[in-house]
Structure 1
Amino acid sequence: MHDPHEFLTALTLVLAVAAVTTVLFHRLKQPVVLGYLLAGLVVGPHVPVPLVANRAVVEGLSELGIILIMYALGLEFSLRGLLKVGPVAAVTAAIETSLMLWLGFLAGRAFGWSARESLFAGALVAISSTTIIAKTFGELKVTGHLRNLVVGVLVVEDLVAILLLALLTAVAGGRGLSAGQVAFAVGRLAAFLVGLLVVGMLVVPRAMRTVNRLGQSETTLVASLGICFGVSLLAARFGYSVALGAFIAGSLVSEAGEERPVEPLVQPVRDLFGAIFFVSVGLLIDPHLVAAHWRAVVALTAIVLGGKVLAVTAGAFLTGNGNRISVQAGLSLAQIGEFSFIIAGLGAATGATRPFLLPVAVAVSALTTLSTPWLVRASPHVAAFIDRKLPRPIQTFAALYGSWVEQLGGTSRRPSVAARVRRMVRLLLLDAALLAGIVIGTSVALGRAAALLRARAGLEAGLARVAVLAAAGALSAPFCLGLVRTARRLGVVLGSAALPHGAGLDLAAAPRRALVVALQLGALALVGVPLLAVTQPFLPGVPGAALLILLLAVLGVGLWRSATNLQGHVQAGAQLIVEALAKQARDAAGGGEAHALDDMRRMLPGLGEPEPFRLPATSAAVGRSLAALDLRGLTGATVLAIVRESEGAIVPSAAEVLRAGDLLALAGTHEAIAAAKEVLAAGAGASAAAPP
């Protein structure tokens, strides 16, 4: 129990210094989060300033900040929203966390750290910061699909972090890991979440509706926070993060439809304790240890910024989100935060790592926190720039890929397709598990197996080790081949389901080939990157990485060739669309344009679902070229054809200048087309930017 005077002193120091630093950063137009971190450094024990706050008191208060930030985030993101982006978020998070675990481990080994320290380093760079994202998105008012996708990935990452904590606790205790321990940890977490959600859905929404009928804001606030802290405490009692419990509590209240009266009541309390949380992070920064390990700080920061942007962008794109959203999601998640501190703190407390790792983690978090608001703010422009610089065939492929995944989402629900997909996914997972078992088993038993072979066959020590490794390689080869073959079959099945073969001339051949190669690439990445992360601690050097990179490079070449063929298919299709629109553009019934495009959808599968849009005279796009407007970079939609009264129908180039009354044929996902229409309909006084 803390002394009341000591508690008051610590709280006064934190809030007073934080007030000064945040006003300063606000005047400098910098993120206020950095002001909080600076306040924590000032009131911490590591700088010669006579304003030292009690660290235990501040950390106790900061836990309330984590709970309230996560609760407010849950209020904005219902369980239905989570289920909607769940598969996409799970795939993206699996690729990202696996790649980051591998990169962090390699970085640790490169700096001469022990295997356990390197494992902790990989874990702490794998998890992005929910609190920093929530704060940044709130300040920049980021909404819509981007917010849902990023929050979904963060929730999956938090579940991964909880599992990592359970596994790292076993590693830190010297007990090692076994398949039984991993299965038990995963099963226990799943049972807790299912039980909590089932009971919560029965109790929380009804309770909140009853309380809200009283019409008393004070009662609503107290009741909602009671639910928040109650579920957080329940999660903590089961050995899980209070952040996870708080997020689920907010989602349960949101399911009652009562988030609107609760959000403005919770916000001031959340802001207060959220500020204390970030100050507590600044308290952990030790400039001397950071200076001693500055190379590691720089390297891990570069890994977080580069690796997360690449992995999240790739994962989000492979799940059909398009260039714009994928790049923005990647730039938004390029930081580490609270779970990284917990993981590094676990290593330091148990002696699994030396004391330097915690300050290094905080320094990396501070640097990536500094960059996060700028990256989020610049992400639409970066996405547009990347789209402009892509080769034309890849631009066309990227514009249409999302629409193919949308079609796949509907067709894959057919029982026959779903059954085949489930069977092949099980085969992929089985091959990966057996391959991982062979690699890990060989590494663990290599010395004993070589000694046995030397005793039985009379071989030299070096030759015996080579023989064991050769036998393990031969045993692994069928499973490696099985992974590649099953990924190929999975791509063919899904590609044929999304773009079926025609009865006569196969007009969908070119787009189907591109889709199949992309799906094969995604399947191998989804299985291969986690497999690499799991087996890397048991592999010498990077042979597994070299093999995976080689396979992905071969598929990348195949994707480029398919995209080049697709470009010709799209150009031919655009010519047909031009002709069809030219014939029916002046249909007296007024519905001929849509009817013509309906015919094109049947005749040219693979071009998505082109939709017509008449450009109004008030549009800000009038008088601008397609290159200057950069509609594809802003929204993900592309203009396949233009019908103009004075010139007839044309296939536009990037230099084509739009005019009032132009009839545009737009292609892309439904969301991309809706965003493109919004941009094109914006008046001349509005900014021609993509919706958030």
Structure 2
Amino acid sequence: MNAIPRLLMDLALVLGVGTLTGLLFRRLKLPLVLGYVLAGMLVGPHVPVPLVADEHNVKTLADLGVILLMFGVGLEFSPKKLFQAGPTALLMGSIQVGLTAFVGAVVARAFGRTPMESLFIGAALTISSTMVLTKVLEGVPVPRSLRDAALSLTVVHDLFGLLLLTVLAAVAKVGSLEAGTFWSLMLRLGLFLGVVLLLGRMVVPRFLRWMADHASSELLLLACGGLCFSLAVGAAAAGFSLALGAFLAGSLGAESGRVRAIERQVGPLRDLFTAVFFVAVGMMLEPSAWRDHLGLIIGLSMAVVFGNTLGIGAGGLLAGLPFQTSLRTGMVLSQIGEFGYIMLGVGIAAGAVGQELYSVGVAVGVLTAFASPFLVRASGPFSETLEARIPSRFRASLGLYQAWAESLRRRGIRHGEGQELRRPTLLLFLDTVLLLGLVGGGHLLLTRWSEWLANRVDWGHFTAQGFTAALIGLGAGLLVLGMLRQVRVLARDLAVLAPSPEAVGSGRRGRHLLAGGLRMAVLLMVGLPLVAALQPFAPKGPLLGVALVVFLGTLGYQLWKARRLNREVPGVLEWILAKVSDPWAGEGASGTPAHGTLRAIRLGPRCPSLGRRLTDLDLSGRAGVSIVALLRNGQTSVALHPTPVLREGDLLALAGPEHALDEAEALLGMPLDSGKAH
């Protein structure tokens, strides 16, 4: 009898156990990914179960899963989808990625991990799991606005995941944080991407389009597989990751316009080996590492929930989304996904990350995935309670800012207007690159240049290093000030483009609020990822202190300016009293024409919602509007916590898109088009 190849036996074992655990987790209404991880633990060497697969064989099969998984991600990613996600998702994603990476790296350093390991851990925490998110949203009903915001962020996460994976693979290839070698490798990466994308866009989309239209499905599958694995191997041969080449192959395939045809052929194969990949993830888990690193696991899990909730919530507010939608989106996306496992795997393969950290990362992924359904269910009551406790002055400012931001987002930047924005954007980019180079090369300057300076000027080594650190700190401070200057110009030019959402009473003050919020948005969007990227490169001691003082000082200055604007909030309520919609005033009454993104509605004697609690209507969750204020007896602001009961004559001020305001009026008891101008 011929001997059965061990690879076939391992494949049969992995697929069989994975099927059983997958059925169990499906029965329990849990993400299948966790079932595959459990299957890996059962067939792995670290659990005393007599089902042990060869780790090297499964690792080879898992590489196939990574390649096909990233090909699928690239196939679903396109500039069109990124454009549809828009600046709102990009702003939310940038702030969240920077904040979560920074907090995760700080937690890792607090538990004694090296700067290199902290860099990988922080990056691995930033990208949410699309698989877990999809499963959670299937089981927990959420408003459409929340679902759309979360799914648009996954597109941005794919982009950030690829960038982080590419940079981390380059860092792992170098084996250290030496700036000179790192930047030379990044130059090679740029050349590789340029050649592949330039030549690939000329040939691949046309070829795949012809294959999909004229060839058989088998040949289309062979062509896609050949493209996928060829670019993956080419990227690995060039010194980069297999995942990068597979993603590029998928993105080139998406340009063919035959995504559905390709997906039908590649999809089942991708799903099969993606399951094998997660089984391989489970095989690398060491249960003893969970016990030994329990504090680190809990700390990193809290960093994911805190960083994602706060980062996405702040980004959503600065983009003009309602408070509840912003906060709930962050809580919905508080889990880590497959990109994180791939990043840690790259670090382990290069020897940059300890093997035990893979178990830590997967434990964080399992813990946050289990917590996701509970976080989604709790996000509604939590955000509602938190919003009700917002001080009335800040709420009024926030509502006015949201109305102006929605007005700018709805208008967009028209043809020819972008020329005014190019100069500050370009200068901001140049300042950012120079700051990266200055701080990233700080270690080289503090060692080699300080040594040369000490010998040249006959200074002591300590004096030369101190002088060099002072120069670097001075240069970093000047660059940060230059960045702030360009941020201010960019925010001002954007605010000028926004049309006033109301004709009466909110023009100058509302535009000032918008400019201040845009300054904060751009500052956080650029600053947080910059700090997260620079913290492993930054030397210890005085230079790090100077950099942190400069950054926190400038951030505090922006917050101080925003607080000054909040002191003017009593005047913000002018628009509420200036133009009121009164649809339920009495017999024969008709509503004042309502338009724009701000609306004040008087609850007349015929309003069906009189006597109901405001939270029972759930205007924020069901209509997607922000409750700016509730005025009673003419101008007295009513606290929203505990929830008030609506009375005759109350004036309810709302902010949001016009269709959301219409829906809110309908929920209050008014037909959708009543009270509107015809």
> What TM-score, normalized to structure 1?
0.79
CA change 1:502–1:486 in 2 (3 A) is farther
How big is the shift at 1:637? 0.9
Question: Counterpart in 2 of 1:121?
Answer: 121
Residues 61, 277 of structure 1: 8 Å contact kept: yes
Question: Counterpart in 2 of 1:481?
Answer: 481
Residues 65, 273 of structure 1: 8 Å contact kept: yes
SS of 2:285's partner is coil
Residues 117, 353 of structure 1: 8 Å contact kept: yes
Residues 627, 652 of structure 2: 8 Å contact kept: yes
Question: Counterpart in 1 of 2:229?
Answer: 233
CA change 1:111–1:624 in 2 (3 A) is same
CA change 1:100–1:165 in 2 (3 A) is same
Q: Distance in 2 between matches of 1:105 and 1:8?
A: 41
How big is the shift at 1:53? 2.4
Q: Distance in 1 between matches of 2:54 and 2:666?
A: 53
Q: Distance in 2 between matches of 1:206 and 1:91?
A: 38
How big is the shift at 1:45? 0.8
Residues 517, 559 of structure 1: 8 Å contact kept: yes
Q: Distance in 1 between matches of 2:447 and 2:635?
A: 73
Residues 104, 122 of structure 2: 8 Å contact kept: yes
Q: Distance in 1 between matches of 2:539 and 2:585?
A: 64
Residues 129, 337 of structure 2: 8 Å contact kept: yes
How big is the shift at 1:163? 2.4
Residues 229, 246 of structure 1: 8 Å contact kept: no
Residues 613, 677 of structure 1: 8 Å contact kept: no
Q: Distance in 2 between matches of 1:32 and 1:527?
A: 36
Higher mean alpha-carbon deviation, 32-41 vs 180-189, is at 180-189
CA change 1:680–1:479 in 2 (3 A) is same
Question: Counterpart in 2 of 1:689?
Answer: none
Question: Counterpart in 1 of 2:296?
Answer: 296
Question: Counterpart in 2 of 1:429?
Answer: 429
Residues 25, 32 of structure 2: 8 Å contact kept: yes
Q: Distance in 2 between matches of 1:643 and 1:173?
A: 60
Higher mean alpha-carbon deviation, 490-499 vs 72-81, is at 72-81
How big is the shift at 1:390? 2.8
Question: Counterpart in 2 of 1:167?
Answer: 170
How big is the shift at 1:283? 1.4
Structure 1 unaligned blocks of 5 or more? 212-218, 602-607, 684-692
Structure 2 unaligned blocks of 5 or more? 236-241, 672-678
Q: Distance in 1 between matches of 2:224 and 2:312?
A: 30
One-letter identity of the residue aligned with 1:521: M
Residues 578, 651 of structure 1: 8 Å contact kept: no
How big is the shift at 1:478? 2.7
Residue by residue over 1:67-105, the C-alpha shift from the partner in whole angstroms, topping out at 9 and shown as x without a partner, is 666677778777533321154343333333333443344
One-letter identity of the residue aligned with 1:125: L
One-letter identity of the residue aligned with 1:520: R
How big is the shift at 1:173? 7.4
Question: Counterpart in 1 of 2:594?
Answer: 597
Residues 323, 633 of structure 1: 8 Å contact kept: no
Q: Distance in 2 between matches of 1:660 and 1:199?
A: 69
Q: Distance in 1 between matches of 2:636 and 2:200?
A: 58
One-letter identity of the residue aligned with 2:548: A
Residues 68, 246 of structure 1: 8 Å contact kept: no
Q: Are residue 383 (structure 1) and residue 371 (structure 2) matched?
A: no
Residues 579, 649 of structure 1: 8 Å contact kept: no
Q: Are residue 146 (structure 1) and residue 149 (structure 2) matched?
A: yes
Q: Distance in 2 between matches of 1:53 and 1:573?
A: 69
Higher mean alpha-carbon deviation, 662-671 vs 466-475, is at 662-671
One-letter identity of the residue aligned with 1:559: A
Question: Counterpart in 2 of 1:334?
Answer: 334
Question: Counterpart in 1 of 2:573?
Answer: 571
One-letter identity of the residue aligned with 2:287: P
Q: Distance in 1 between matches of 2:481 and 2:522?
A: 14
Q: Distance in 1 between matches of 2:6 and 2:488?
A: 65
SS of 2:125's partner is helix
CA change 1:534–1:149 in 2 (3 A) is same
Question: Counterpart in 2 of 1:553?
Answer: 556
One-letter identity of the residue aligned with 1:554: Y
Residues 623, 657 of structure 1: 8 Å contact kept: yes
Higher mean alpha-carbon deviation, 145-154 vs 401-410, is at 401-410
How big is the shift at 1:188? 3.7
SS of 2:522's partner is helix
Residues 581, 601 of structure 2: 8 Å contact kept: no
CA change 1:316–1:74 in 2 (3 A) is farther
Residues 61, 276 of structure 2: 8 Å contact kept: yes
SS of 1:538's partner is coil
Residues 62, 273 of structure 1: 8 Å contact kept: yes
CA change 1:553–1:47 in 2 (3 A) is same
More contact order relative to length (CA 8 Å, sep ≥ 6): 2
Q: Distance in 1 between matches of 2:209 and 2:138?
A: 25
Q: Distance in 2 between matches of 1:469 and 1:441?
A: 12
CA change 1:452–1:197 in 2 (3 A) is closer
How big is the shift at 1:573? 1.4
Residues 601, 651 of structure 2: 8 Å contact kept: yes
| Count of equivalent residues | 653
Question: Counterpart in 2 of 1:185?
Answer: 189
CA change 1:134–1:625 in 2 (3 A) is closer
SS of 1:309's partner is helix
CA change 1:303–1:650 in 2 (3 A) is closer
Question: Counterpart in 2 of 1:50?
Answer: 50
How big is the shift at 1:285? 0.6
How big is the shift at 1:628? 3.5
Residue by residue over 1:513-558, the C-alpha shift from the partner in whole angstroms, topping out at 9 and shown as x without a partner, is 2211111111221222233233322232552334323322332243
Question: Counterpart in 2 of 1:111?
Answer: 111
CA change 1:676–1:301 in 2 (3 A) is same
How big is the shift at 1:308? 2.7
Question: Counterpart in 1 of 2:515?
Answer: 516
How big is the shift at 1:424? 0.7
Q: Which residues of 2 match residues 137-286 of structure 1 at below 5 A?
A: 137=137, 144-172=147-175, 177-186=181-190, 188-189=192-193, 192-193=196-197, 196=200, 202=206, 204=208, 208=212, 229-239=225-235, 240-241=242-243, 244=247, 248=251, 251=254, 255-256=257-258, 258=260, 273-286=273-286
CA change 1:206–1:350 in 2 (3 A) is closer
CA change 1:132–1:230 in 2 (3 A) is farther
Q: Distance in 1 between matches of 2:260 and 2:648?
A: 45
Higher mean alpha-carbon deviation, 667-676 vs 494-503, is at 494-503
Residues 21, 39 of structure 1: 8 Å contact kept: yes
Question: Counterpart in 2 of 1:625?
Answer: 613
CA change 1:173–1:639 in 2 (3 A) is closer
Q: Distance in 1 between matches of 2:367 and 2:631?
A: 51
How big is the shift at 1:404? 2.3
Question: Counterpart in 2 of 1:687?
Answer: none
Q: Distance in 1 between matches of 2:205 and 2:382?
A: 41
Residues 36, 275 of structure 1: 8 Å contact kept: yes
Q: Distance in 1 between matches of 2:322 and 2:342?
A: 34
CA change 1:625–1:83 in 2 (3 A) is same
Q: Distance in 2 between matches of 1:257 and 1:110?
A: 46
How big is the shift at 1:47? 0.9
How big is the shift at 1:122? 2.9
SS of 1:578's partner is coil
SS of 1:127's partner is coil
CA change 1:413–1:3 in 2 (3 A) is farther
